[in-house]
Amino acid sequence: MQKLQINATTHIYPIYIQAGIRHSLSDYIAKDYDKILVITDENVATLYLADIRCSLHHEQVYTITLPPGEHVKQLQTFYDIHTKALQFGLTRQSLIIALGGGVIGDLAGFVAATYMRGIDYIQMPTTILAHDSSVGGKVAINHEYGKNLIGQFYSPQAVIYDMETLQTLPLKEVRSGYAELLKEALIAEPTLYNSILSIKINNIVVEQLKMHVRNGIMIKANLVEKDEKEANERKYLNFGHTLGHALETTLGYGTLAHGEAVAIGILFAMFVSEKKLSAQLPTKDMYRWLLDNDYPIHLQELSSTSLVKQMKLDKKVVSNHVQMVLLQAIGEPILQKMDEAELEGLLEQFFKKINNV
């Protein structure tokens, strides 16, 4: 088994990565909790909830199963989970397990952060995408104005990652997850970038996937430890997300998978890096790889003005300027304040370019 560790400001927590670890879950729960609440979605429940319940040797285990999709990551569901947790009698000595992708992790984590002013929770990611969101303690729900606008930094007690659960993912989810891996590779590790570009999404070898995910987590862990509250280096992980988040909100959550939106955002950030920093980047190769792997890159016509307006609601806005993460080279990210009009112009050029290539 692989075990990594994160030094958060409040406590140190382990990340366990192992195929089949869901069958021996109780061995990895360090404390004696009075009750355990598993929060998951219908897709994951069908596949893995029975395994989880079997492996939790605990008298009082409760379950909340939500419909799949980003739309549950909102205020009313947040409140409804609190209500059920109160009905189940969860106390400050109880544990929440977030079993699922990023939506479940963010939502269940935010419930844990606020239930009776905060109780313990464990992240059990079941997607490739969630290798990223499950590490680092960012929890949130969406606001109608934008993603993750209501939330907290609240670290889990552990991340338990069963690589077997990745084998049942639909291709759209694999694509989505690989976009975040690409992001990590581009801001930190050329070798990982080259390795990812050498594979085909619909034909991944398990050992490769393991290696990519493990590397992705290590890059993330390193940045989170340096800057948990996202004052400096952690912002690099926002690479590709400035446009990515704006696209998701503008098109409606669920139209593009999160990673699909991020993939377009990454292309845009590379395009801007070339224009503004005269960086030499493999944007063309990257574009080809995305096309070859069926990423939806060609979008309907979108208003650059309204996309920039959406970007200005981003949490990284400073003194009324959108802050983008750009690349000087692969592995060399920088933060760049962007002028509104310039950003609009670049967006228009970008959309013209990718639609004409």
Nearer to a copy of itself, 143 or 210 (CB): 143
Minimum distance, C-beta of residue 79 to a copy of itself, in the bound complex (Å) = 5
Minimum Å gap between C-beta 75 and a copy of itself is: 5
- CB of 110: closest distance to a copy of itself in angstroms? 8
Q: Would the annotation count 118 as a binding residue?
A: no
In this complex, which beta carbon is closest to a copy of itself, that of residue 36 or of residue 267? 36
> Is 165 known to sit in a ligand binding site?
yes
Nearer to a copy of itself, 150 or 302 (CB): 150
- Residue 25's Cβ-side half-sphere holds a number of Cα atoms within 13 Å equal to 26
Q: How far is the CB of 333 from a copy of itself (least distance, A)?
A: 19
Tell me whether residue 138 or residue 212 sits nearer to a copy of itself (CB atom): 138
Name which of 35 and 212 has its Cβ closer to a copy of itself.
Answer: 35
| Residue 352 is labelled as binding a ligand | no
Q: DSSP string covering 37-48, please?
A: EEEEEHHHIIII
* Residue 162 marked in a binding site: no
Give SS3 for 27.
Answer: helix
Nearest to 96 by CA among 75, 74, 81: 81
Q: Which is nearer to a copy of itself, 172 or 316 (CB)?
A: 316
**What's the per-residue H, E or C state across 222-269?**
HHHHHCCCCCCHHHHHHCCHHHHHHHHHHHCCCCCCHHHHHHHHHHHH
CB of 337 to a copy of itself, least distance (A): 13
> Which residue's structure tokens are 């098109």?
251
Q: Say if CB 138 and CB 151 are below 8 A apart.
A: yes
> Binding residues for a copy of itself, per CB under 8 A?
9-10, 34, 75, 79, 82-83, 86, 89, 91-93, 113-118, 138, 140, 143-146, 148-153, 229-230, 312-313, 315-320
Are the CB atoms for 98 and 121 separated by under 8 Å?
yes
Say whether 147 counts as a known binding-site residue. Answer: yes
Q: From CA 157, how far away is CA 38, in angstroms rounded? A: 14
Identify the bridge partners of residue 45 per DSSP, sorted by sequence position: none
Q: Which is nearer to a copy of itself, 18 or 114 (CB)?
A: 114
Alpha-carbon distance 153 to 238, whole Å?
Answer: 16
Distance, CA of 198 to CA of 264 (rounded, Å): 19
- Is 106 annotated in a binding site? The answer is yes
The answer to whether residues 136 and 228 touch, using CB atoms and an 8 Å cutoff, is yes
CB of 317 to a copy of itself, least distance (A): 5
Neighbouring residues of 75: CB distance < 8 A, sequence distance ≥ 6? 141, 150
Rounded least distance, CB 209 to a copy of itself, Å? 30
Q: Looking at beta carbons only, is 144 or 207 nearer to a copy of itself?
A: 144
Give how far Cα 210 sits from Cα of 122, 145, 196, 329, Å. 21, 36, 12, 26
- What Å distances lie between residue 23 and 62, 146, 160, 163, 353, CA to CA? 18, 37, 11, 12, 49
Annotated ligand binding at 294? The verdict is: no
- The CB-of-27 to a copy of itself minimum distance in angstroms stands at 24
Q: Which residues are annotated as a binding site?
A: 102-106, 126-127, 138, 147, 165-168, 180, 241, 258
Annotated binding-site positions for NAD(+) = 102-106, 126-127, 138, 147, 165-168
- Binding residues for Zn(2+), as ranges, are 180, 241, 258
